[in-house]
Homo-oligomer: A and B are copies of this chain.
């Protein structure tokens, strides 16, 4: 059905590259082998790049640090756009004061902290402070007691009409080559269904993620969507979202979508990347620079 394209020749055609993180740059075992060469090449060619990720469990600084521990120093916090940053922007614009109750680890809540707002885990909401709760946010599947705190969240949301933000649209995430974990996005969908209210979701494939990155770039330079390419491993988030926003897209086969079934999946879902590559690794020969 479709040829496999050369990743290097693709990025040569664009000025700015958006990368998904998991399945493109790193996997459970650490970095995708050889991916440092891609970032060397981007630096040499003076191309800009951003990591656009649905991971709201940690701040950009913490996410960048994790790459540095693996030896990939090219990814600095200012290069990372996460769904958590959209959550923070929303709270800044729409929730002026009071308590923001959250489901997640304390770390996941820190970078959401905003001048007038006070974040508090759901477990600490009680009859005394319930009146002050101005929003609920779903940040991470860790850091709380699922049974006690999910039931508490359901009953809080039945009583109060307040914004509910889900900072991760994924329903599950990979944990090891064989296993996945239920993600906070999947838990949030169950609770949304039970309370019957509309939650606000931030994350790919929603175009607001791409807009946020696009806007950051336009703060200091002029750019058109034709100069940007989105690189991802998941058809339903990276490719669908990038494409809907008007970007060209590259599907890589190092993560969610496997070499053996990418054709079947593209036909079944109707989600078509502009290009398909084995990986996002740039193979550098002697003459590449």
Interface residues, chain A, with chain B CB atoms under 8 Å away: 89-90, 93-94, 141, 145-147, 150-151, 154-155, 157-159, 161-164, 171-172, 178-182, 186-187, 189-191, 193-200, 206-208, 211, 225-226, 236, 240, 243-248, 266-272
Q: A193's contact among B93, B171, B206, by CB below 8 Å, is which?
A: B171
Name the B residues within 8 Å of A141 (CB-CB).
147
A89-B246, A93-B246, A211-B207 are known contacts. Are A180 and B158 too (CB-CB below 8 A)?
Answer: yes
Report the Cα distance A91→B223, complex, angstroms. 19
Residue among A147, A164, A248 having the largest count of chain B Cβ atoms under 10 Å: A147
Given the complex, which residues of B lie within 8 Å of A246, measured CB to CB? Answer: 89-90, 93-94
Q: In the complex, which residues of chain B have a beta carbon less than 8 angstroms from the beta carbon of A150?
A: 146, 182
- A176 to B: closest C-beta gap in Å: 9
A42 to B195, CA, bound (A): 38
Q: Lowest 7 CB-CB distances: which A-B pairs, in order? A: A197-B270, A146-B146, A93-B246, A190-B190, A146-B147, A207-B208, A155-B179
- Contact residues in B for A182 (Cβ distance below 8 Å): 150-151, 154, 190-191, 194
One of B178, B226, B240 near A198 (C-beta < 8 A): B240
**A171 CB, min distance to chain B CBs, angstroms:** 5
Supply 12 further A-B pairs (C-beta < 8 A) apart from A161-B270, A200-B244. A93-B246, A150-B182, A151-B181, A155-B178, A161-B266, A163-B272, A164-B270, A171-B193, A182-B191, A182-B194, A186-B193, A197-B271
Most chain B C-beta atoms within 10 Å of own C-beta, residue among A162, A194, A198: A198
CA distance A246 to B208 in the complex (A): 11
B198 touches A172 (CB 8 A): no
Please report the C-alpha to C-alpha distance between residue A69 and residue B197 in the assembled complex, in whole angstroms. 39
Number of copies of this chain that the complex holds: 4
What is the bound-complex CA distance between A188 and B269, given in angstroms? 15
Q: Which residues of B contact A208 (CB under 8 A)?
A: 207, 211, 244-245
Q: Chain B residues near A244: list those with CB within 8 A.
A: 90, 200, 208
Q: Is the CB of A154 within 8 A of B178?
A: no
User: A20 to chain B: closest CB distance in Å?
Assistant: 18
Question: Pick the contact of A194 from B89, B172, B269 — CB < 8 Å?
Answer: B172
Q: Please, how many angstroms separate the alpha-carbon atoms of A270 and B246 in the complex?
A: 31
Give the CA-CA distance A171 to B173 in the complex, in Å: 24
Task: Flag if A243 contacts B194 (CB, 8 Å).
Answer: no
Q: What B residues does A236 contact at CB under 8 A? A: 198
A94 CB contacts on chain B under 8 angstroms: 243, 246, 248
Question: With contacts A164-B270, A182-B190 known, is A93 near B225, CB below 8 A?
Answer: yes
